[in-house]
Amino acid sequence: MANVYHSNNKDKFLLKVKEEIKHRFKDCNKIAVKIHFGEPGNKTAFKPEDIKPITDILNELDIKFFLFDSLVKYSSPRSNSKSYKNFALKKGWGKLGEIKTNDEHINVKGENLTYEVCRELVDADAVLVVSHVKGHICTGFGGAIKNLGMGALTKKTKGDIHYGGKPVFVGKCTQCGTCERACPLGTLKVKDKPVFGICYGCSDCAYACPISAIKTRVNYFDTLLAEGATIAQSRFKKAYYISFLKNITQLCDCESDPGEIIADDYGFLASTDGVAIDMAAHDIILENEGEDVFLKHNKKSGTEQVKAAEKFGMGQSKYNLIKL
C-alpha cells in the first residue's frame, strides 16, 4: 500500500516534495517533467507559476531536467512539434527550463494495442509526473493515469485509443434508450437501433447497454488508456507523481473551453504510485463535495480507469493518506 501525501498548505507540501525528490532521484543526471502546457484559450490549465516551485526544487537539488509533453491528434498548434514548442515558449514555460515536444517513440505491444511510448520519457533517468486533476469527457475524471495514458504516448496511439473505444452495434435493439442517456455528448440517438453521431470513443454506451447489444471496436476507452499508462510507466527508469487539486473543471486541459469549475480546490498530492494518487484525489474530491461531481457532469465517475490500471499492474488503488 503506497503512501499518498496530502496538504492544503503549499509550503508544507513543497518541503515534503523536496525530501521525496532528493531521495527518489538522487542518482539521476537528467529527468523529464511530464507536464501539460494547456490548449490555446484554456484559462485553467497549468501556468508556469504553478510549476515554478517544483522546478525551483529541482534546481536547488542540482537535478537537471526538461519539460515534456507529446503531440495531439486533433487540429491544434499542439499537433506539431515546432508550433507546440513555440506556443509553450510564448506562455512563458521556457523561463523554467528546456521544453521538448515531439513524437519520437518506441513500440511496445500490449494486450489490446501496440502502444508508441515517447522516447524522451523512456530515455530520461526518471519521470516526474505532474498532473492537473479535472474532469474529462471520455473518462469522467482525469489525473495521473490520464497524464500518461494519453500524454506519454504519440498522437497515433492517442487516436488508436479513441478509435478502439468507439461503439459497434452487434445485437437486437429494444429501444430502451439507456445508451442515449449515457452519451456525454448527447449525439447518440435511438431509432430502430442506436445511431452514433459525433463520437470520441468514451465507450459509455457500451458500458450502459443492458443487453450488451453495443460493443467497442477494441476495448473500453478506460481499459486502453490504463494499459497505455501502465506500459509507459513500465518503461520509465524511475517515476514520482504530483497532483494539483485546483481549478477542477468539467473538461480537460485539451479543451480551449474546459467548462465550468465543478469542485473547490483541495490542495496537493504526492506519491510513488500513480494509481493510488488518482484514487486519493477522486476520494478527496467526492468526500468534500458530498456528491460524485464527475458522474454528475460527465456521466462517468472515473474509477473505471483506476480499476483497469490496477489490474494491469500499474499500482494499487488502496493507499495510506498522510496529511501534512
Contacts of 180 (CB under 8 A, 6+ apart): 188, 189, 190, 194, 205
Q: What's this model's pTM, rounded to 2 decimal places? A: 0.96
Average pLDDT for the chain: 96
Choose which CATH entry (3.30.70.1350, 3.30.420.40, 2.70.70.10, 3.30.70.20) describes domain 166-216: 3.30.70.20
pLDDT tens, position by position, 200-236 = 999 999 999 999 999 999 999 999 999 999 999 999 9
CATH number, domain 2-160+220-323 = 3.40.50
User: Does the pLDDT of residue 264 top 90, yes or no?
Assistant: yes
Q: Where are the domains of the chain?
A: 2-160+220-323, 166-216
Query: Can you give the length of the chain in residues?
Result: 324
Model pLDDT, residue 233:
98
pLDDT tens, position by position, 63-95 = 999 999 999 988 899 999 999 999 999 999 999
Whole-number percent of the chain with pLDDT over 90:
97
pLDDT tens, position by position, 154-175 = 999 999 999 999 999 998 899 9
